Amino acid sequence: MHLIIDGYNLLHVGRLPVLLTADDLRRERDQLVDQLSLYRQTRPCEITLVFDGWQGGWAAEKRERRKGIELIFSRLGEKADEVIKRLANQKGAGAAVVTSDRDISRYAEKMNVAVIPSDQFKRKMEQPAVTPAVTMDKGFGQDQDEGKGAKRKGPSRRLSKKERRARAALKKL
């Protein structure tokens, strides 16, 4: 699986918008790269982290590789959203997009690319590596009604393609 991550969206998930200096922002980006590198060691996948460079970036798109993570800074005048959409279109169904941005989510779903909300991915990334047998015992990955002895009434309900794709991507993480 190839993860395409909306960098600033993941970086600022769950906190109020704060004005940061350029040094603070660079430090936070480096910490995120470190966290993703540790995550990548436990779960082998390709990770592309996309950041905005449209206001104060370079004339051309900047790409670099750090600690096994591909970093992309959009060029001056281009938002990271456009880069993420382009990557989702190129990678197709073999990728998953990590973002809470509705516009990117809708586009990725049209391209049959799984979308994982940033807050869910952040929780998954911060969890210690656990074997699948242990996670099933704790109830992760199961429906809330399964395993509790409750009988369901009425016709069975199948999840939408969007929900099935997102769950499959989360299971792989």
Q: How many CA atoms lie within 13 A of 99 on its CB side?
A: 30
Cross-strand pairs, 63: 72
Q: Spell out the domains of the chain, with CATH numbers in brackets.
A: 2-172 (3.40.50)
The pLDDT value given to residue 86: 92
The pLDDT value given to residue 138: 46
Quickly count helices (H) and strands (E) in the chain: 7, 6
DSSP string spanning 84-107? HHHHHHHHGGGEEEE---HHHHHH
The pLDDT value given to residue 158: 82
User: Which of 68, 100, 65 lies closest to 84 in space, CA to CA?
Assistant: 100
Q: How far is CA 60 from CA 7, 63, 82, 90, 97, in A?
A: 18, 9, 14, 19, 23
Check: pTM over 0.75? Answer yes or no: no
Pairing of strands 69-73, 95-98: unpaired
Tokens of 53: 């460079």
Q: How far apart are CA 63 and CA 88, in angstroms?
A: 17
pLDDT (tens digit, 0 to 9) for every residue of the chain, 173 residues total?
899 999 888 888 877 767 777 788 889 889 999 999 998 888 888 999 998 875 566 667 788 899 999 999 888 878 888 999 999 999 888 899 999 999 999 999 998 899 999 999 998 888 765 544 444 444 444 444 444 556 666 666 788 888 888 888 877 77
Q: Are 32 and 8 in contact (CB under 8 A)?
A: no
Tokens of 104: 């990117």
